[in-house]
Amino acid sequence: MTQPQIKSRRQHIRLWFEFYKLALDDPALQDNLAKVRTFYEPWGDPRGVDFRVWWKDHGYLFGATQVEEATKVSRAPNVLNLSIPLNLPVTKTLPDVKRLIEAKQRERLQELGLNPDAAKSLHAGFGTYEINAKELRGRPLHEAHVIYCIWLEMGKPTINSDFLQAVRDRLLNRPRAKWLPSFLMREADVDRKGSRRFAEEQIRQMRRSIKKAQDVCEAVSKGKFPS
């Protein structure tokens, strides 16, 4: 059974997107969201929107954020590919680099329908959203999101053996992407009365996963990802 691998930057942004949708539907987080309304305004309302559709129009918001040596030409809209001769002094190349970058920034803002002369800075308007963690563990967050969604759909039931069995059954009966969190790989034992009983540690793991999802939703409602 192949576990989901959530490693790419786009996959991490998708998690942010999905947790933001959950936060928008949580009455307890509306005050937080009101304080960051302008921060999320460029995202639009993502509820009911598939990430792949949303990404086509909003992917530019998550531009590259550091200078690094390119091993191949990037076609990302917010990246400028340069060829810098190493036989020239830095004092000679830096002004040229600055001029080229600023010209590209103006061009990009115009492509986005923005006025470069009216912008507070040329880099404003794209590439403004960042993942807070240096090394994001995507798989546990993905698992927490999936489990939390099931918990919400079921009306926030008590987290016990019955709920664990329901989650296990749902995940195994999906038409695609059949996988289980590691703590659900072990099946429940059957007691003398014929009832399924998961180990207490498995139930604790489930509670921690749901709590993690709640914490991430709260962090997202404050404009931060992950928590």
Mark 94-119 as b/e (b = at least 16 C-beta within 10 Å): eeeeeeeeeebbbebbeeeeeebeee
Residues 124 and 188 in one domain: no
If one counts the domains in the chain, the total is 2
Residues 43 and 150 in one domain: yes
Among the candidates 128, 150, 170, a domain finishes at 128
- Could you tell me the pLDDT band of residue 27, with boundaries at 50, 70 and 90? very high
The string of pLDDT tens digits covering residues 109-130 is 777 666 778 766 665 555 567 7
- Could you tell me the pLDDT band of residue 82, with boundaries at 50, 70 and 90? confident
Residues 100 and 37 in one domain: no
Residues 45 and 141 in one domain: yes
Residues 121 and 176 in one domain: no
Expressed as residue numbers, the domain containing 81 is 67-128
Alpha helices by DSSP H, listed for the chain, are 9-24, 30-35, 37-40, 51-58, 90-111, 138-153, 161-172, 200-220
**CB burial of residue 72 (10 Å; 0-12, 13-18, 19+):** exposed
Residues 103 and 139 in one domain: no
Please state whether the predicted TM-score (pTM) of the whole model is above 0.75: no
Residues 105 and 216 in one domain: no
Q: Which residue, among 198, 72, 208, 196, has the nearest Cα to 147 in the 3D structure?
A: 208
